[in-house]
Amino acid sequence: MIEYDPVIFSRILTGTTLAFHIIFATIGVGIPLMIALAEWIGIKRNDEHYLLLARRWARGFVITVAVGVVTGTAIGLQLSLLWPNFMQVAGHVISLPMFMETFAFFFEAIFLGIYLYTWDRFKKKIYHFYLLIPVAIGASASGFFITTVNSFMNTPRGFDINNGVLTNINPLAAMFNPATPTKVAHVLSSAYLTSAFVLAAIAAIALLRGRNHVYHKKALNLTMTVAAVFAISTALIGDLSGKFLAEYQPEKLAAAEWHFETTGEAPLILGGILTADKEVKYGLEIPYALSILAHGNPTAEVIGLEEFPEEDLPPFIIHYFFDLMVAIGMFLAAVSMVFIVMQRKKNWNEHNRPLLWAIFLGAPLAMLAIEMGWMFAEVGRQPWILVGLMRTAEGATTATHVDTMLYMFVLLYLVLSISVVTVLLKMFKSNPIEQELRDRGIE
C-alpha cells in the first residue's frame, strides 16, 4: 500500500485534473476558430454545406464547454486547497491573468449563448457571424491568460523578495515574463492544430464508411487546410521554444535530450534507453541537431547536466515525452501537407483510404501530443513549482485526506467522460447529417 504523502497525492490529483481538463481546454480554444471559418466561407460563397458545418460543430462544442467548466472549476479549487503556499505568492503577483481568464470565459459564454439562440434570426447572415467573433476571441484569450500563469511558474518575474516579504509587485511584468511569448504561441497554435484534426477525423471516418456526400469532403478540405497551416506554425514555434529553454532552463533541455556533458556540435537523441551509468543505448542520434535547436548553430556549445546540482535536475523520463510530442507533430505535418499536395494535383485522389486512415489516426495522436507537451512542461519543471524560488514540496498542503479527494475526483472524471461521449453520440446519431441535409433541401 502506498504510504500517505500529501505532496505525492497532491501532485497526482493535480496532474490527473490537468490531463483531463486539457482535452476540453484544447477543444475550447480551437473549435470556435473552425466554426468561424466554416460560417465565414458559407456566407461568402453562399454555400449551405459550410453553414451547416458551422451549425453542427457548434452543437457539439457546447457539450465540451459544459464539461470544461466543471474541470476548470476543479482546477481552481485544487490550487487553493492543495497548493496554499504557492497561491499565497501567486495571489499577490499573478492574480491579474487568473481574473482575466475568468472574465474571458464569461465573455465567450455570453456571446456563445446569443450565437446559438439567433441562428436563422437575421436577414443578413453576416450579422450572425459577427456574434461568433467575441466567442473566438474569448476562447483564445482564455487560453492566453491561463498560459501566462504557467509561464510565470517557469520564469517568475514582477516582484522582489526582501526578508521573505514580496515587494515591488508588477502584475504586467509577471504576466509578460520571458516564457510568455513562446508558451502562449505554442499552446494556441497546437490547440488550433489539434481541433482541426479532431474535426477532420469525423469527416474522414464518414468517408471511410462510404458516406461520400460532398458535405464530408468540404469538411475535410477545410479542416486539413487549417491543420497544414498550424502544423507548420507549431513546428516553427517549437524551434523557438527550444532556444528559450537553452537560455532560461538549460537543465530542462539537457534532461529532455539526455545531454550530460557540456559540448559543442551536440547531437539530438531520439528514443533509446538510459542505463544506470548514464549511457544511452539504442537511441537514434542526429548529429548537430541539439546545437541547432538550442542556438541555431551546428557548432554551438550546449550546456550539459553536469553543470547543475543533482537535486535540481528534472526527471529523465521527460525525454520520452519530448520525443513523442515531436514525432507526432512531424506526423501531423506530413499528413496535412500530403493532403494539400494531393488536393492540388489533377487526377490525384486525396480521399484515398490510406490517407483517410492517417487523418483519422491523427486526431487521437494530436491529443496525445497535447498531453505529452503538458507533461513535458510540468514534469520538466520539477523539482520547482516556481523555478528557482519555491520547490514543489514547499508549495503543497500538509493536510490529510488528499488521497480521498483523489478517488472522488477520479470518479467524477469517469462519470463526465461517459456522459460527454454518450451525449455527443446520441446527439449526432439521432440527427445524422444526411437526414438534416434532406430536411433542409440541401443537395
pLDDT in tens, 414-433: 988 888 888 888 877 777 77
Q: Return the pLDDT at 386.
A: 87
Identity of the amino acid at 179: A
Longest CA–CA span in the chain (Å) reads: 73
* pLDDT confidence band for 190 (50 / 70 / 90): very high
Output b/e per residue, 224-237; b: 16+ Cβ within 10 A.
Answer: bbbbbbbbebbbeb
Its sign, for the CA torsion 152, 155, 160, 161, is: positive
Strand ranges (E), 173-292: 263-264, 268-270, 273-274, 280-281, 284-286
CA atoms within 13 A on the CB side of 58: 26
Residues 6+ apart with CB under 8 A from 358: 335, 338
Instruction: Tell me if 9 sits within 8 A of 399, measured CB to CB.
Output: no
pLDDT for 45 beyond 80: yes
Assess whether the previous peptide bond of 432 is cis (omega < 30° from 0). Answer: no
Long-range contacts for 200-208 (Cβ within 8 Å, ≥24 apart)? 200/224, 200/227, 200/359, 200/362, 200/363, 201/359, 201/360, 201/362, 201/363, 204/356, 204/357, 204/359, 204/360, 205/356, 205/360, 206/433, 207/351, 207/356, 208/353, 208/356, 208/357, 208/360
Its sign, for the CA torsion 80, 81, 82, 86, is: positive
pLDDT for 240 beyond 80: yes
Alpha-carbon gap, residue 75 to 253, rounded angstroms: 28
pLDDT for 2 beyond 70: no
Instruction: Tell me if 269 sits within 8 A of 284, measured CB to CB.
Output: yes
Residues 6+ apart with CB under 8 A from 80: 87
Q: How far is CA 317 from CA 279, 294, 374, in A?
A: 14, 20, 13
Alpha-carbon gap, residue 194 to 183, rounded angstroms: 16
Place of cell 539526455: 258
pLDDT in tens, 115-171: 888 887 888 888 888 999 999 999 899 889 989 988 998 888 888 878 767 788 888
* pLDDT confidence band for 300 (50 / 70 / 90): confident
pLDDT in tens, 51-75: 888 888 888 888 888 888 888 888 8
* pLDDT confidence band for 365 (50 / 70 / 90): very high
The cell for 62 is 457546447
Instruction: Tell me if 12 sits within 8 A of 405, measured CB to CB.
Output: no
Q: What is the mean pLDDT of the chain?
A: 86
Query: Can you give the residue ranges of every domain in the chain?
Result: 194-384
Which candidate, 187, 137, 177, places its Cα nearest to that of 157?
177
- Chain centroid to Cα 430, Å, comes to 31
* pLDDT confidence band for 113 (50 / 70 / 90): confident
The cell for 252 is 530542462
Q: Return the pLDDT at 366.
A: 93
Alpha-carbon gap, residue 119 to 113, rounded angstroms: 11
* pLDDT confidence band for 439 (50 / 70 / 90): low
The full length of the chain comes to: 443
User: Averaged over 240-247, what is the pLDDT?
Assistant: 88
Instruction: Tell me if 433 sits within 8 A of 213, measured CB to CB.
Output: yes
Alpha-carbon gap, residue 148 to 193, rounded angstroms: 20
Residues 6+ apart with CB under 8 A from 3: none
Alpha-carbon gap, residue 339 to 97, rounded angstroms: 39
pLDDT in tens, 318-335: 989 989 999 999 999 999
> pTM score, two decimals?
0.90
pLDDT for 230 beyond 90: yes
